[in-house]
């Protein structure tokens, strides 16, 4: 009996010592970055859309910074972080969605599109540049001014989640 136990213990020790470079990492925040990455920088996202919401650039930039601060242990730098986020808002538009009788729209969609350039100075293979788009629908009978702030907040939340998943969580 002891012989079997000793044999299993020796076998297990050999298995786990053969490959010391293997490691399992867990994160409760969803972050999945190289341990070499210690800092991040988020640059201002200017609004280059045809229709401009005056608070959108600042809101998007701040929300992304806050998400990275909350969900990672990275330190923020104003520039030259180990990972960098930059880009621009390229689309901000309202479109009728659900057309009913008499050619009237019952639903309108607010869509925001942003172009993001992600640079990882520690793992350059992870670099990319892509567009992210998110939207929210609302009842067309409501005035845009009464729902715009709430809609943009919800869309920015979706966009920052998508950016986080594509970069930090590596999904």
Q: What is the pLDDT of residues 68-89, one digit of tens each?
A: 999 999 999 999 999 999 999 9
SS3 at position 76: strand
Contact predicate 49/90, CB 8 Å: yes
pLDDT in tens, 45-66: 999 999 999 999 999 999 999 9
Long-range contacts of 139-142, Cβ-Cβ distance < 8 Å, separation of 24 or more: 139/106, 139/107, 139/108, 140/96, 140/104, 140/105, 140/106, 140/107, 140/108, 141/106
Model confidence, pTM: 0.79
* 16-28 pLDDT tens trace: 555 444 443 334 4
* Per-residue pLDDT at 29: 47
């Amino acid at each position: 009996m002891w012989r079997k136990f000793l044999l299993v213990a020796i076998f297990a020790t050999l298995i786990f010592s053969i490959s010391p470079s293997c490691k399992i990492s867990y994160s409760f925040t969803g972050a999945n970055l190289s341990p070499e990455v210690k800092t991040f920088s988020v640059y201002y996202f200017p609004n280059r859309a045809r229709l401009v919401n005056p608070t959108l650039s600042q809101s998007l930039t701040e929300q992304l910074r806050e998400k990275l601060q909350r969900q990672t242990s990275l330190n923020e730098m104003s520039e030259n972080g180990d990972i960098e986020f930059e880009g621009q808002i390229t689309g901000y538009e309202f479109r009728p969605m659900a057309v009913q009788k008499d050619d009237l729209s019952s639903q309108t969609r607010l869509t925001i599109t942003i172009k993001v350039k992600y640079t990882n100075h520690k793992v350059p293979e992870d670099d990319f540049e892509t567009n992210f788009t998110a939207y929210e629908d609302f009842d067309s009978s409501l005035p845009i001014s009464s729902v715009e702030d709430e809609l943009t907040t919800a869309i920015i939340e979706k966009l920052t989640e998508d950016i986080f998943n594509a970069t930090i969580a590596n999904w």
